[in-house]
Amino acid sequence: MGSDQISRLPDEILGIILSSVPTKTAASTSVLSKRWRNLLCLVDSLSFDELNDEEKEEDQEDAMSSSQPFHDFMEKTFALLSNSPIKKVSLSHLPFHYSDHSRVYSWIYTALDRGLLELRLHAYACVLLKRELLTSNTLVKLTLSGEYCLEVKRVYFPVLKSLSLEFLELDYPDYHRLLDGCPTLEELFVADDDDHSNPLCCGAVVKSESLKRLVVSIDLPDSQEDHNSMLLDTPSLVYLKYTSYVFKEHDAVGLDLLVEARLDLSLWESTSDYDDDHDDDVDDEEEDDNETDDDDEPKMPIFGDVTKLVVGITNITTLHLSADSLETFHFCCESMPVFNNLLNLSIESDKEKGWQVMPILLKSCPRLHTFEIKGLVHRETNKCGDACACIPGKHKEGVEEVCCLLTCQVKVLEISDYIGSSQELKQMRHFLGKLKFLESVDVSIDANNDNSELLRNNLLTLPRISSKCNIQFI
């Protein structure tokens, strides 16, 4: 016969187990026995979601009519918890009437009074958060998302370390009051999208003396007019991940401690028409022939300037650039600074995006040790230069330039998403024949590729300028 093994566990272990499941499930165990009813007092992590997965796909107006059972369940749960300490609360709710706000307030008050450490709030409909709800001497992690609105004059979280703001109805003053009220904040996660009417603010300007990690994601593809100015004033920052369309002006102040930057900066327009602009390699005869071509008319400048941002991150040791960022660096950075401390560079490639910035970028990294590339296929342009194998056949007479790869100090080359196309093989031949300090090449080939053995053999037979170079497949 089977036995109830779980009931033999100590109360403390059962409390941990119940804290790891949805609170509705944990509360349902209280009907099993008096012991299980008392175990609910040991639950210190609560998770409530008013809408189940099916209701989230339905009309919210229909779901709002069923809020009363959820509210009753919340009240009963907090009553069963008595005065037990609470460490973590996650609440996703859909208030129907303004009177429902008072219930939300009471639940949060109760949790804050129990020494709450972590709070996650998501509203499916607009809820105003009072000042009293934005003051806590114990909270270390706060996540606000959805339809919460903050109308406060003062916020105070003296020990808050991590703050996440996801698609909030925040205006600019409230956003800054929120940051100013977190004097020990170390992590900030911000997400803005085009589903809300308020103008972009949370990710555009970040000022904090204590902030160490910053992750910003701005997805506003139809709001170029809101992308005028971006500012980072974060002197303690060590990690930056920034995703957005390019701003008219980017600025970064005092990022001397920054160690790692991951940038995904997209241009607002296609650059395919700019590939042949200012081509010094075109001879005079071709220039005469092209004078009658309508395509030679001056083109509008590309929107955006990331020069100050790039200058501001020159102390980093690790840099990751998306395929969009590579084009943004080329078109929107007036001059490339020297990254004297950069040891690790990783880039992503896209068949629609060019490598125009690669020659000058590699020349600007004199101590580069590891170069990681996700995908070798990119759009061929007349500006890729000698960093890649798609160099134009014609060169300006009398001008000899040293290939940027020959002076590159890279010792480790990591290639992922390699499929072995002719363009990729040509590019690998170029790398192996030019990177003379190379010691290790790690290539990731899809295990499901039927030609994986052939791809390996093709790479292993390529000539290598470095006698120390060893190719590995992972």
Which pLDDT score, from 0 to 100, does residue 301 have? 83
The Cβ-side half-sphere exposure at 292, using a 13 Å CA radius, reads 3
What does residue 164 show for φ and ψ, rounded to 5 degrees? Answer: -120, 125
Buried b (16+ CB within 10 A) or exposed e, 160-181: bbbbbbbbbbbeeebbbbbbeb
Per-residue pLDDT tens over the stretch 150-159? 766 778 899 9
Mean pLDDT of 420-434: 92
Q: What is the 3-state secondary structure (H, E, C) of 4-71?
A: CCHHHCCHHHHHHHHHCCCHHHHHHHHHCCHHHHHHHHHCCEEEEECCCHHHHCCCHHHHHCCHHHHH
| 146 close to 167: Cβ distance less than 8 angstroms | yes
Q: Model confidence at 56, in pLDDT bands (50, 70, 90)?
A: very low
Which pLDDT score, from 0 to 100, does residue 57 have? 44
Per-residue pLDDT tens over the stretch 257-300? 999 999 999 999 887 777 654 444 444 444 444 444 555 566 77
What does residue 440 show for φ and ψ, rounded to 5 degrees? Answer: -140, 135
Q: Model confidence at 36, in pLDDT bands (50, 70, 90)?
A: low
| 203 close to 216: Cβ distance less than 8 angstroms | yes
Is the pLDDT score of 246 beyond 70? yes
The structure's pTM equals: 0.84
Per-residue pLDDT tens over the stretch 406-418? 899 999 999 999 9
C-alpha–C-alpha distance, residues 127 and 143, integer Å:
15
170 vs 25 pLDDT, higher one: 170
Q: Where exactly are the structural domains of the chain?
A: 196-270+302-315, 338-392+403-473
Per-residue pLDDT tens over the stretch 462-472? 999 999 999 99
Which pLDDT score, from 0 to 100, does residue 401 have? 66
Give the single-character DSSP code of 237: -
